[in-house]
Amino acid sequence: MRKILAVALVLVFALAGVASAQTFVSLATGGTGGTYYPIGGGMADIISRNLPDVQMTAETGNASVANLNLIGTNQIEMALVQNDVAYFAYNGQMMFDKAYKNVMTVAVLYPETIQVIAMKKSGVKKITDLPGKRVSVGAPGSGVLADVQLIFRVLGYKFGDMNTDFLDFNNTAQRMKDGQIDVGFVVAGYPTASIMDLATLHDITLVEFDEELIDKLHSEYPFFVKHVIPAGTYKGVDKDTTTVAVQAMWVCDAGLSDDLVYRITKAFWENVEDLYQVHARARQITLDTALEGVSVPVHPGAAKYYKEVGMEVPVID
């Protein structure tokens, strides 16, 4: 009888240990002044609350390029990135010296708008006004810098054509407040916290992209699509501003198990409305657009969920 009781107790403790075992997943986001940070925090909360055996933590990050290097070198499990930069990472192009074939899609989230902010007193109203101005083009290793490089390539500009600084969202806004920068590039879902803060203290302008430039950009780099920032998004900007956008993507390491990614994907989409309270941009995150703009293969675990709900999963080599 004692032997039976002892075995039973061992089994109880073993099962309790299994039940309490957790899988820890880190999600690389961006700086606190952008959109990735609050969105990523909300995503991690949804997963952790709805999957008791999974603890997801949102980590501040240095945006797309840095996040993809972390995924590519197996230093983090998941990340928020731009779809264009994910494409470059997967194929070993632009700022990536090697191809990271372990980068896989979990979901496309929302458009990331190329926002070009100018101090009104600078007189900058369109992209062709930039030469000779003091311009922040994004932090080293960021998707912002990658996009600016492509835009300047189409325009025929070099960084030397202007007084260039390489700053993140927060430092760009701070330098503009201090009168040290005329124009700053930000690639993020609007409204962006750092720009909102700047606009409450100073008069700003959103710089327009003309139709010819938009057509050229889309022709050479199809992931750039026409986009409009509505009037009133930022204080003092009372008209629609035509620009371009890429897509924010949720990516993961191919080494994650199919079951784990399936369960995370399912839990996220079944509770996505909880994210809508976190940030205004989150309302654009819908299952209907979860595979629009996919630029790297979809992880098999995520693909299983999308097929279950009747969606066609794109095949990317």
Which CATH number covers residue 285? 3.40.190.10
Which range of residues forms the domain containing residue 28? 22-109+249-308
Residue 5 lies in a domain: no
Same domain, 49 and 127: no
pLDDT per residue rounded down to tens, the chain (317 residues): 443 433 333 333 334 444 446 999 999 998 887 788 999 999 999 999 999 999 999 999 877 889 999 999 999 999 999 999 999 999 998 889 999 999 999 999 998 899 999 999 999 999 999 999 999 999 887 778 989 999 999 999 999 999 999 998 889 999 999 999 999 999 887 888 889 999 999 999 999 999 999 999 988 888 888 999 999 999 999 999 999 999 999 999 999 999 999 999 999 999 999 999 998 889 999 999 999 889 999 999 999 999 999 999 999 88
Q: Is residue 15 part of a domain?
A: no
Are 227 and 192 part of one and the same domain?
A: yes
| Residue 125: inside a domain | yes
Question: pTM for this structure?
Answer: 0.76
Q: How confident is the model at residue 21, as a pLDDT?
A: 65
Are both 120 and 241 inside the same structural domain? Answer: yes
Query: Same domain for 199 and 272?
Result: no
Domain for residue 63, yes or no?
Answer: yes
Residue 6 domain flag: no
Helix orientation angle between 36-50 and 258-270, rounded to the nearest 10 degrees:
100
Residues 165, 216 share a domain = yes
Confirm if 70 and 287 have CB atoms less than 8 A apart: no
What total of structural domains would you count in the chain? 2
Are 101 and 127 part of one and the same domain? no
Same domain, 105 and 117: no
Token representation of residue 35: 């959109």
Of 227, 246, 265, the one marking the end of a domain is 246
Buried b (16+ CB within 10 A) or exposed e, 251-260: bbbbebeeeb
Cβ atoms of 206 and 119 closer than 8 Å: no
- Least Cα distance to 108 among 221, 41, 189 occurs for 189
Q: How far is CA 196 from CA 125, 204, 235, in A?
A: 19, 10, 7
For residues 60 and 136, membership in a common domain is answered with no
Q: Are residues 118 and 33 in the same domain?
A: no
Q: Does residue 159 lie within any of the structural domains?
A: yes
β-strands 183-188, 134-136: how paired?
parallel
- Asked if residue 118 and residue 241 are part of one domain, the reply reads yes
Task: Specify whether 207 is located in the same domain as 267.
Answer: no
Shared domain check, 216 and 268: no
Other Cβ atoms less than 10 A from the Cβ of 303: the count is 23
